[in-house]
Amino acid sequence: MSRELQLRDKLPNYNTVEDAVRLIRESKRILILTGAGISVSCGIPDFRSRNGLYASLKLQGEYDLDDPQQMFDINYFRENPAVFYSFASRIYPSNFVPSPCHRFIKLVENRNQLLRNYTQNIDTIETLAGVTRVVQCHGSFATASCLLCRRQVPGSDIEDDILAQKVPLCSVCNAPQLAPLTGKRKSRKKSAKKAKGGWDSEDEDESDGPAYPPGIMKPDITFFGEKLTDNFDHSLAADRSEVDLLLVIGTSLKVSPVADILCHLPHSVPQILINKTPVRHINPDIILLGNSDDIIAHLCNRLGWELPPPKNEAAT
Ligand code: CNA
């Protein structure tokens, strides 16, 4: 196994798997920063891998996007919600089982060594694994809000529409006594027509794109162009003076401000990166390259730690 772990050292003090094991064993306030890579083995593709979501969106050519990132762009969503909703069921949290990485985070928490898990993932599998000290930096499908009146509802309220690939509408903004259709949007007709929004084929105006009813619901996941919640800033402000080890797992660290967490921590805090591919713009103390589930299993083995079972009984 150790041959699979390629190591590169920055500081002479920390450069071996043994150092990683010692740091994890001895640290009391570990900050674990995670990304889509830890959920790939659960069946959810990441964004930027060769066979990730961006590549498949490009390959399939199913959506008329200039750039696959537009699928998660708030301005594009405002113009073309039907495109996102024709796709959202593919990433909607369903019967996923936590990976060894999720279970490791829970184990660190059980051992009272977890300061916080900052996850960029929107799949809520950390919660399913029972992790409570988690900040979902990019939100989740757990709630949804109306773009117009900002009313927030449980995510389950729009689940049926997501699974039926329809655009969910706010029941307040679209109450019968309210105005007829407004909120006409210019749109890429090809995308909107391909998307299976529940109302668009009827209401489409060929000259000006589909007329969207007011009050489109959007899951509270952070799109490109949207700000993160205050919870992220507050947690980070408190944690930066507490943390004694940073563990980064399964992320390309391409998305700010989460990627900037590394710059905000004191330089004395050791950093370990576990990732399938190198992340060239950072310089952590220890780099463990490979499948994160395998690496975590190896580390646990060396630590003499046993991972909790895949399903958290309390969460089921
Ligand atoms: P990314 O940019 O797609 O990077 C993922 C990283 O994980 C890459 O560097 C891969 O090499 C690495 N990776 C892939 N598989 C493995 C593996 N088995 N073991 C170890 N490493 C692996 O995704 P990021 O998380 O860095 O980008 C942040 C985006 C991704 C956030 O806005 C998320 O909402 C978004 N996202 C989330 C999910 C999810 O919730 N599961 C899925 C896809 C995208």
Q: Does residue 234 have an active-site annotation?
A: no
Our answer on whether the CB atom of 143 is closer than 6 Å to any ligand 1 atom is no
Question: What does the pLDDT average to over 17-43?
Answer: 96
Q: What is the pLDDT of residues 139-185, one digit of tens each?
A: 999 999 999 999 999 999 999 999 999 999 999 998 876 555 544 44
Q: Which residue owns the Cα nearest ligand 1 atom 16?
A: 37
Tell me, rounded to whole angstroms, the distance of Cα 150 from its chain centroid.
Answer: 22
Residues tagged in the binding site annotation for Zn(2+):
146, 149, 170, 173
Lowest mean pLDDT among 128-132, 183-187, 232-236, 241-245: 183-187
Q: What is the pLDDT of residues 181-236, one digit of tens each?
A: 544 444 444 443 444 434 443 444 444 555 678 899 999 999 999 999 899 999 99
pLDDT value, residue 13: 52
CB atoms within 10 A of CB 71: 23
Are 134 and 127 a contacting pair, CB within 8 Å? yes
Residues tagged in the binding site annotation:
146, 149, 170, 173
How would you list the strands of the sheet with 152-154, edge to edge? Answer: 152-154, 139-146, 217-221
Q: Quote ipTM for the complex.
A: 0.99
Q: What is the pTM of this model?
A: 0.87
Q: Which residue owns the Cα nearest ligand 1 atom 34?
A: 121
